[in-house]
Amino acid sequence: MQRALVVSTGKNSATISVDGEQGLRVAQLRRMTGERFMPVPGDAVIVRILEDGQALVERIEPRTFALERRSAGGRAKTMASNVDLLVTVTALASPPPRLVTLDQLLVFAEIENIEAAVVFTKPDLADVARARALLAVYEHLKYPTLEINPKAGAIDALREMIAGRRALLVGNSGVGKSTIFRALGGRSSIGEVSRYGLGRQTTTAGRLYRMADGFLIDSPGINEFGVGTIDARMLAEAFREMRAPARDCRFSDCTHLQEPDCAVRAGVAEGRIAESRYASYRKILLQPT
Ligand SMILES: Nc1nc2c(ncn2[C@@H]2O[C@H](COP(=O)(O)OP(=O)(O)OP(=O)(O)O)[C@@H](O)[C@H]2O)c(=O)[nH]1
Ligand SMILES: [Mg+2]
Ligand SMILES: [Zn+2]
């Protein structure tokens, strides 16, 4: 029996990186009746290597953190496991930054108590002043924040940030996650044919790249990311800059939407809370689930 890391998964098989081995192997999954046995990238598995070289996944080690993504039908699908750093990726332009997605991911990280970093890409296509202002919002919130151009290979700061970590790249489609993944040494999965035509390559399945003392997972673009049903109190807790002011609202059950003497709205009006963050707060709170 040997330990391995799950790199990617197919229908009845998984591509794995066995501890101490250089290349990758394709391992068969054991069929288990009445039990879900579906590994995801990041899973640590125990494998049996048969005499003919075939590998068989025997079991999945208990997961620490698992990222779940809710589909339109509301069904949760596990995307990746054992991650300890959520690297949110947002393009400064092309596609234009969708800050609700970014803020939703940060809310998710706060609720799940997992570290998050904020990475902005495509500075070469963006307005410098706008980019500065946007970075400042997240730096101010004490999220590790970076601006990189992975297309030009400028990713050293990110390499440093994820050293020794088990990191997951997440963000909207087209923001540069796979470009980052490749620039750091990862190989994109084969058969990535764009659903959107025009020959654009879009990632359809997660894939892990094992690095010294850690790993990096590339994931498909998320276009909506539900954080599930969440009330105003919990949401304001998850917005770092609203936590303290929320305690000073006149009503203890203030939703910070329209109540009088709301300290959160006062913070927005006085410039202590970024308008874009407050707009995300409203959208997340009011979104239909
Ligand atoms: N100009 C510029 N282009 C970039 C930069 N980063 C990525 N790109 C380009 O953006 C396009 C999309 O990049 P991908 O890495 O495929 O994006 P992705 O986030 O993996 O997209 P999905 O797999 O669909 O989720 C590619 O054509 C990249 O070359 C950047 O910093 N500047
Ligand atoms: Mg991709
Ligand atoms: Zn309030």
What's the confidence (pLDDT) of residue 41? 96
Which ligand neighbours the alpha carbon of 201 most closely? 1
Give the Cβ contact number of residue 268 at 10 Å.
20
Q: What is the mean pLDDT of residues 29-58?
A: 84
- Fold of the 2-60 domain: OB fold (Dihydrolipoamide Acetyltransferase, E2P) (2.40.50)
What pLDDT is recorded for position 260? 97
Q: Is the pLDDT of residue 86 over 50?
A: yes
- What CATH topology corresponds to 66-218? Rossmann fold (3.40.50)
pLDDT in tens, 200-236: 678 888 999 999 899 999 999 987 677 777 899 999 9
Mean pLDDT of 111-132: 97
Q: Where are the domains of the chain?
A: 2-60, 66-218, 232-286
What ligand has the least distance to the C-alpha of 188?
2
> Per residue in 152-180, pLDDT tens?
988 999 999 999 999 999 999 999 999 99
Query: Mean pLDDT score of the chain, rounded to an integer?
Result: 90
Ligand 2: centre distance to CA 190 (Å) = 12
Looking at residue 74, what is its pLDDT?
66
Cα dihedral: 100, 105, 107, 109 (round 10): -170
- DSSP tag of 121: E
The response to whether residue 203 sits with its C-beta less than 6 Å from ligand 1 reads: yes
pLDDT in tens, 174-194: 999 999 999 999 986 544 444
Q: 231 CA distance to ligand 3 centroid (A)?
A: 13
CATH number of this structure's domain 232-286: 1.10.40.50
Please identify which residue in the block is written with the tokens 């940030």. 161
In the chain, where does DSSP find H-type helix?
A: 99-112, 128-140, 156-162, 177-183, 232-238, 240-246, 263-269, 275-286
**Pocket of ligand 1, candidates 101, 124, 179, 195: which has the most ligand atoms within 8 Å of its Cβ, to mutate?**
179
pLDDT of residue 189: 56
Residue nearest (by alpha carbon) to ligand 1 atom 14: 176
Give the lowest-confidence range in 100-114, 189-203, 242-256.
189-203
